[in-house]
Amino acid sequence: MPASRRVANNAMMYPENLGFSMKSYYPVWYISSAKHFLFRGFHYYFMSEEVVWSGGLSPMSLLWYWILGILTIWILGLGLVFIVLGVLKMYSWRYEVTTERVKVTKGLISRSSREADLEKIQDILVQQKFWGRILNYGDVSFNTSGSAGYEIVFNNVSDPNGLKEKFREARKTPSKS
């Protein structure tokens, strides 16, 4: 329960402990609740799944963008182009593992997403190349039943083996529905 809701519940049960008018408190609580609803979304409050892991591209996987940006910053701001491209690429991919599904979302302006239910995933593949092993990032691929290859791929995530363990924990926890 959010702290604002706990305070509101205590205020309703023990109004003498407030020290200020109830009329001034409820609009603040209402605005706070509306803010949480808008930022977290409908599914956070009314669906039974919980987010176990959420992330995007590892900043270390974009190391070459950062290096090129720093080395070429003196050439009429060309370095800023590389840095902005790296930031845009980093924020355009979102990955999520919940207690019910695995989800990939890509894009900034136009978005596309792909998801699979946890119970349909049969195999997990973790791949780390040379620089990925050194900088601790890699690809995690999920194979679902009824597909020939790996249907969902989390590209260049930080700590891919840790993500694999989080997925196994999510699979062990029973669903609320």
Instruction: Give 44-92 as a DSSP string.
Output: HHHSS--EEEEEE--GGGGHHHHHHHHHTTTTTTHHHHHHHHHHHHHHT
Q: Are residues 80 and 29 in the same domain?
A: no
Instruction: With respect to residue 118, please indicate whether it lies within any of the assigned structural domains.
Output: yes
Mean pLDDT, the chain, integer: 77
Q: Are residues 95 and 114 in the same domain?
A: yes
Contact criterion met (CB below 8 Å) for 94 and 70: no
The sign of the torsion formed by the CA atoms of 30, 32, 38, 40 equals: negative
- The reported pLDDT for the residue numbered 35 is 47
- The reported pLDDT for the residue numbered 46 is 58
Whether residue 62 is predicted with pLDDT greater than 80 in this model: the reply is yes
Q: What does the pLDDT look like over 103-138, one tens digit per residue?
A: 999 998 888 999 999 888 888 999 999 999 999 999
Q: What does the pLDDT look like over 15-46, one tens digit per residue?
A: 444 444 444 444 444 444 554 455 555 555 55
Q: Are residues 10 and 84 in the same domain?
A: no
Q: Are residues 19 and 77 in the same domain?
A: no
Rounded average pLDDT over 59-81: 86
Listed in sequence order, the residues at least 6 apart from 2 whose beta carbon sits closer than 8 Å to its beta carbon are 32, 33, 36
- The reported pLDDT for the residue numbered 47 is 58
Whether residue 2 is predicted with pLDDT greater than 60 in this model: the reply is no
Report which of residues 14 and 134 the model is more confident about: 134
Rounded average pLDDT over 145-149: 80
Tokens of 145: 């039943």
- The reported pLDDT for the residue numbered 33 is 52
CATH of the domain at 86: 2.30.29
Among left, alpha and beta (phi > 0; psi -120 to 50; other), residue 47 is beta
Contact criterion met (CB below 8 Å) for 118 and 102: yes
Cβ atoms within 10 Å, residue 156: 24
Q: Are residues 87 and 138 in the same domain?
A: yes
Instruction: With respect to residue 62, please indicate whether it lies within any of the assigned structural domains.
Output: yes
